[in-house]
Structure 1
């Protein structure tokens, strides 16, 4: 399993596309946070990163599918999964190796964004006037959100051999699971059903952790969400004749 993980990770790191994708993500974050007047931290006037954590999920909807789209789609298109399957590894081990490689790459993409925290820390009046605990909670929520989107991307890549289709399906599923349930809940006038639909969506649990409230129900939700889509990936792979 480690060999597959290492191969997958280094194939990302040796690919120019990975650096271009992460570079575009960081550039978009910088433009939205510092230059665009509607979302600029400087125009907002408060020493906090709430605008970044509100915008990041929507940027993730494109960043993560771009990272995961090649995971199985490329293997299927080139016919190399058969060779990979001959190794003494189960389908689940192969899925987990690819999943964790994408998660590590996501972690690398988030590290440079810490410069935003440092900038706000230095610019705050007085210096250091920023809620560090809230920032830590928000980063944890963002990382859990990224892991959930990665599981969706891996699943989308497993159902097609076309990377563009895998990207499009992953973007749609990420958007729907993040915002779709909230939108559907507004259609129903029954309060109980609306609450259930909201709790099914990722946004509710992401916002809860981002407020600095580390609830075990939110952690269980994200773990269950990841396991669900990795399980669906296993079904998609196991039921296909490569």
Structure 2
């Protein structure tokens, strides 16, 4: 697994993908938080990071699939997937190696945003007038959300040899899992089941974490979604033996 992780991570560092993804994420969020008047912290005068945690997931919906779309699709297109599968590695080692390389890159994109927290902390009146617990909870939620999107991206990459198709499928699934269930639950016809449907989506649990209370139920939900998606990836990858 370590070999796969290092291979994938080095391929990111040796290409423009990692630098483009991190630069686009930080530049986009930076502009939204500090420049654009409709979302700028300086304009509405509240010491919080709501812009990052509300709009960040939608940015991730496109950036993370851009990272993961090549992981298996390129192997299939280039004919190297068979060579990879003949090595003394289990399917799980291959999947986890590729998954962790994408997740680490996502975490590297998030870490520099701590500068935004420090800036708002210093700009607060009085200094430090920011809900630190809520911010930390939101960071936990954002990392877990990135972990789910990475798993979905890996799954989308393994089902197709076309990177563009993998990207589109990943974006679609990320949107459905994040806010699709809440949109469906808002339909009045569901009645008492609307609350249950809403809790199936990530947004419900992501919002709960952003309040600063890290509930084990929300964490277990994220980990369960990741496990299910990676298991589906394993089944697709193992289908070559059927």
- Distance (whole Å) between structure 2 residues aligned to residue 82 and residue 8 of structure 1: 17
- Distance (whole Å) between structure 1 residues aligned to residue 79 and residue 188 of structure 2: 47
Alignment correspondent of 2:159 = 159
User: How much has 1:22 moved relative to structure 2?
Assistant: 1.6
| Matched positions, count | 241
- Distance (whole Å) between structure 2 residues aligned to residue 6 and residue 17 of structure 1: 16
Larger deviation: 31-40 or 222-231? Answer: 31-40
Alignment correspondent of 1:212 = 212
Alignment correspondent of 2:15 = 15
- Distance (whole Å) between structure 2 residues aligned to residue 122 and residue 224 of structure 1: 38
- Distance (whole Å) between structure 2 residues aligned to residue 161 and residue 10 of structure 1: 22
Gaps of 5+ in 1: none
Alignment correspondent of 1:195 = 195
Alignment correspondent of 2:115 = 115
Question: Does residue 1:126 correspond to 2:119, yes or no?
Answer: no
Alignment correspondent of 1:236 = 236
Alignment correspondent of 1:135 = 135
TM-score of the pair, normalised by structure 1:
0.97
User: How much has 1:222 moved relative to structure 2?
Assistant: 0.5
What is the DSSP-based 3-state SS (H/G/I as helix, E as strand, rest coil) of the residue aligned with 2:240? Answer: coil
Alignment correspondent of 2:45 = 45
What is the DSSP-based 3-state SS (H/G/I as helix, E as strand, rest coil) of the residue aligned with 1:173? Answer: helix
Gaps of 5+ in 2: none
User: How much has 1:59 moved relative to structure 2?
Assistant: 0.6
Q: How does 1:74-89 map to 2 (within 5 A)?
A: 74-89=74-89
RMSD: 1.1
